[in-house]
Structure 1
């Protein structure tokens, strides 16, 4: 590891703490800062994080938890819009105004169903790519505020859309700020939280998805009996409720200290740390800064670039692969059906009212599943839960497929299918869904985190395009009419995902970002991450690793 003392360095500033000033040196460029005395302080900070219990973390970082929860709540809007659109395909008043007559009443043609879902995903991809550039330049806070301001204007297009083409345009444009929210929330949560709170605050994003889905389904269920245009316009109008209070709250949020250190703004990083951990002593703040600066410098030694292309170079290629696959498995494990659950239940033989009731039960299960995942993650970590979840999901999807071989009017088979799907969603919401954000928040390097998450989430959106193209045809009675037999299709991909996770998914539980950097640099096998001990802050040891 490179010596942090550079002979040609020039002291450019200090961060004043009672425990001693942290001197910084200029190396090659004014925005690249390193410390002259960080190894010991960084080691103390890492040791303190390892010793910290959940209760200690909540006592020390209540502000960090609150700000993370606030910014993550922007995902509620994304989830609400997603369930709104896909549930509209089973919504009588929406189908009457936008659909065409068929043997089962008015239906939105499968091509337009795909087009509407594709529009949101295309906009999301654009937003994610923009987010990767903008957050690195302006920070999470300013980008989040800008996205909220733009969204408030774009909702008008959805509300006043007179036909399906205008609705598609509105979904594309609204998808851009929605994509930006997806990119910045996980990164912000992972950068403001200590190691012990990291899995809880990142996986809280899954609760935001569940809450947005539940809220959307509840509003649609309440308006189900309205046959006029307000039956679907009111749900669109509800989207104006979110941006204003979120905008006001985020105005007061601190920037990520990791972002400020990457920009060379050390004093601002110190101020941000004090806001996140208001009970910390000056010495603890100094140690925390030292750990962040040291980690940043280690990553520059390993990989100096911060472009999108650098995500596919050297050790970062493996980290990008893991992040991308964690996102793709959200669809490959069969969860793509959840976005069409109301429509799926209806085509499986349920009445519209029962279909919405089953969907709301699904999202309630998702909420409690996420809470349960917090307990399980603290005990078993990410990798074990992920493998168990994928194995159970594969089994359940195949059973759903076999049940669909029964006649369509077999009510027992229909209710059995619905019950098994609820069990499947419980499994996904406990073992797979929440873990995505813990995994993606940990696996990228700190310098490439924002762009790695953007690539991974964009790959999820691309998979969403494929899912949106296929699923309506699978379920639509005027197309393939597979119904539950779609379980065979997704069950096969879920099995492939299980095999990948066994060989490629490492365990990040309890590891600091510097420790993860060393493990990836040393090309440690995914199955050995959990038991491999490293000391990245030992200034006298260039090997970095100590096998247990």
Structure 2
């Protein structure tokens, strides 16, 4: 379970030798801070009188400000549609302009959308801004993760993604705290002050990206070998041995050159469904879409509402506590990511999430609406959030509920696997499609949940968990049968294993003769050159 793969990774397998790259990845993950901040902030606006006075109406019967359900759903849906469109456009844009340009463009779109939301009182303009912001979110999410996958050393990709997730969690907590501080304000400043925070993270990232290199693997796909080598050198610490560096670069160069010949003059949208790439695309899409298959959407979005229906007093306080369980989960992931196989983490996490869904469904069936059941609901939603975050997903918090959970994050491993599986040329295309389908599935889960849990409809409440327990069982079986183990493998090794059509269960022990030969040859050549120089120096002396 914990034994490392037989890897041809030529680099020293520690952390201190790669602090520079980890620092760069940390700054790139600021986009995930923005992602968590956005959903936490805007989700809270639905309960702010200052926001509802502008975009809602006064309910005479209830004596409070409210928002029309259609307006509420459009604010949510247009954001999701924008994210869907943005994710699908990542592949073509990235193929031509690269990862850094994608992050810069996402920042510009974020600035435009945020400025409109702050300045407008027109609902049509707000709809447009939400759509544009959705495109920005889709690009932030996808480009940042593709960059990290391609920049981080193989043995540290998991840690880099854990940093990504922690940024998201912190962003969500900051957003919830800012909302809490302004929600009693009765004027427009109640939501305009939080919205102004949207400018901070993209500005930090945009400035920093001027000093960071482009993805060396993307540069190599463009035939820019000299620039790719320079970029890789800027990502690696100076104390890395030249032989190790050259071995890593040669591995990237050789594999990418072979892929370039394969895809030259062909349409990448078509090629991702041909030959071994079809298997890789389907696996990448499947693992990322685990997000919408484990029942997270209805718990993430309707936590506070669901706790209220369950008879839990102080539902908002408990929701905040559950939010903090997410941060505990992601911090826990730091300690396991380098030592436990990806498949094992996924299997344990999905099984735990399924058990939690089943537990509170059974409790509600036995004693619906009781105090004891309410406590069980709180406990297992908290446990669900912990395992959900600790095993590997990314959040979706559409503002379709007035009292949405400010933090329901998903940790790195599903997204990590989804980015490791495609080839260098197809990564952005496959990742974009997978992200778009995940958002679509999450939207479907959020949209349909009220029909199951609302007392005015089917009124299942927590018994809705039975359906998602069954869904988690399917995910477990799929992971066991088809998901390969990629821990500590370089992206080039993963490519070689797929090209060899190795079954999923044999990935871990497969010896990559091609990448191993490249590494050995380069290091031996470097050693011979060093020995020759030393010998000549001694003779001259």
**Structures share fold, TM-score greater than 0.5:** yes
The residue aligned with 2:202 is 243
CA displacement, residues 410-444 of structure 1 (integer Å, 9 cap, x when unaligned):
33322321121011100111123221122122111
The residue aligned with 2:490 is 512
Alpha-carbon deviation of 1:217? 1.8
Preserved CA contact (<8 Å) 1:393 1:494: yes
CA displacement, residues 123-160 of structure 1 (integer Å, 9 cap, x when unaligned):
11221222212222112112211221231121122224
1:123 aligns with 2:82: yes
Preserved CA contact (<8 Å) 1:346 1:355: yes
The residue aligned with 1:344 is 306
Distance 1:223 1:72, change over 3 A: same
Alpha-carbon deviation of 1:402? 2.8
Of 267, 276, 283, the residue aligned with 1:315 is 276
The residue aligned with 1:85 is 42
Preserved CA contact (<8 Å) 1:349 1:408: no
Preserved CA contact (<8 Å) 1:203 1:437: no
TM-score, with normalisation over the residues of structure 2? 0.83
More relative contact order, 1 or 2 (CA 8 Å, 6+ apart)? 2
Preserved CA contact (<8 Å) 1:221 1:356: no
Paired with 1:479 and 1:153, the residues of 2 have a C-alpha distance of: 39
Structure 1 residues 3-402: aligned runs within 5 Å: 46-49=8-11, 52-54=12-14, 58-91=15-48, 94=51, 98=56, 101=59, 107-162=66-121, 164-279=123-238, 280-300=240-260, 305=266, 307-336=268-297, 337-350=299-312, 354-402=314-362
Structure 1 window deviating more from structure 2 (99-108 vs 251-260): it is: 99-108
Paired with 1:273 and 1:364, the residues of 2 have a C-alpha distance of: 37
Preserved CA contact (<8 Å) 1:121 1:464: no
Distance 1:448 1:269, change over 3 A: same
Preserved CA contact (<8 Å) 1:147 1:180: yes
1:494 aligns with 2:477: no
Alpha-carbon deviation of 1:122? 0.8
Paired with 1:496 and 1:448, the residues of 2 have a C-alpha distance of: 28
The residue aligned with 2:400 is none
Preserved CA contact (<8 Å) 2:41 2:178: no
Paired with 1:333 and 1:128, the residues of 2 have a C-alpha distance of: 22
Alpha-carbon deviation of 1:285? 3.4
Structure 1 window deviating more from structure 2 (409-418 vs 67-76): it is: 409-418
1:460 aligns with 2:419: no
Which structure 2 segments of 5+ residues have no match?
1-6, 394-411, 519-541
Which structure 1 segments of 5+ residues have no match?
1-44, 541-548
CA displacement, residues 317-346 of structure 1 (integer Å, 9 cap, x when unaligned):
111111111121112111112133334334
Paired with 1:53 and 1:166, the residues of 2 have a C-alpha distance of: 51
The residue aligned with 2:380 is 420
How many pairs are equivalent?
Answer: 489
Structure 1 window deviating more from structure 2 (358-367 vs 524-533): it is: 358-367
Query: RMSD value over aligned CA atoms?
Result: 2.7
Preserved CA contact (<8 Å) 1:205 1:437: no
Distance 1:173 1:252, change over 3 A: same
Distance 1:386 1:215, change over 3 A: same
Paired with 1:142 and 1:538, the residues of 2 have a C-alpha distance of: 34
Paired with 1:479 and 1:166, the residues of 2 have a C-alpha distance of: 33
The residue aligned with 1:450 is 428
Structure with more strand by fraction: 1
Preserved CA contact (<8 Å) 1:118 1:468: no
Preserved CA contact (<8 Å) 2:9 2:489: no
